[in-house]
């Protein structure tokens, strides 16, 4: 199974959603998990992982990871060419380096060049920026490119994004 996560912030709360699916080219999810936490700390530039990682780890406690072979996050695994860990890298370490983590970002991060690759899907002219740990970044990029959907963003990643935005109470 593959898991994809996204977290949305409102007031001092965070809603984290995870979708589970079987294969890279799956059209449908097999399960959806979600959790809303309160008391979320403010964003600190350069330390985003401190805000989002606890949300992901909390939701992961509800998921049996025995058959998980990859986790996709919205963001970066590394933040520079010296492999300074971003959210994905910290998640990988929290999982004792057992499950590869792939970062998929819509916006480029100029501090990283050598451990990132960009892909274009469908007819889009805008790239997705891929980073990975526990898996070669080029293989990770190929897997994201193979995901179902004809547009820039794979259908299932669009789904986790939209599920996270549903029913937010402000």
169 Cβ contact list (under 8 Å, min separation 6):
10
What number does CATH give the domain 2-165? Answer: 3.30.2170.10
Provide the pLDDT confidence category of residue 169 given band limits of 50, 70 and 90: low
Least confident of 35-49, 53-67, 111-125: 35-49
Domain definitions of the chain by residue range: 2-165
CA distances from 34 to 52, 61, 121 (A): 14, 11, 28
Q: What angle do CA 127, 130, 134 make, to 5 degrees?
A: 165
| 166 pLDDT above the threshold of 50 | yes
d(CA 86, CA 91): 9
Token pair 């949305």 in the structure block, residue: 8
Average pLDDT over every residue of 70-89: 96
Per the CB < 8 A criterion, the answer to whether 88 and 94 are in contact is no
- In the chain, what percentage of residues exceed pLDDT 70? 98
């Amino acid at each position: 199974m593959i898991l994809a996560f996204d977290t949305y912030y409102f007031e001092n709360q965070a809603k984290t959603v995870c979708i589970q699916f079987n294969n890279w080219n799956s059209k449908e999810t097999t399960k959806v998990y979600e959790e809303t936490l309160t008391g979320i700390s403010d964003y600190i530039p350069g330390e985003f992982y401190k805000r989002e990682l606890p949300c992901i780890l909390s939701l992961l406690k509800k998921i049996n990871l025995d058959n998980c072979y990859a986790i996709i996050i919205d963001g970066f695994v590394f933040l520079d060419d010296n492999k300074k860990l971003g959210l994905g890298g910290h998640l990988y370490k929290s999982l004792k380096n057992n499950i590869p983590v792939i970062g998929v970002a819509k916006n480029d991060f100029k501090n990283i060049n050598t451990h990132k690759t960009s892909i274009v899907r469908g007819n889009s002219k805008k790239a997705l920026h891929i980073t990975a740990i526990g898996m070669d970044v080029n293989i990770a990029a190929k897997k994201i490119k193979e995901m179902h959907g004809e547009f820039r963003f794979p259908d299932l990643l669009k789904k986790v994004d939209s599920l996270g935005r549903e029913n937010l109470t402000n």
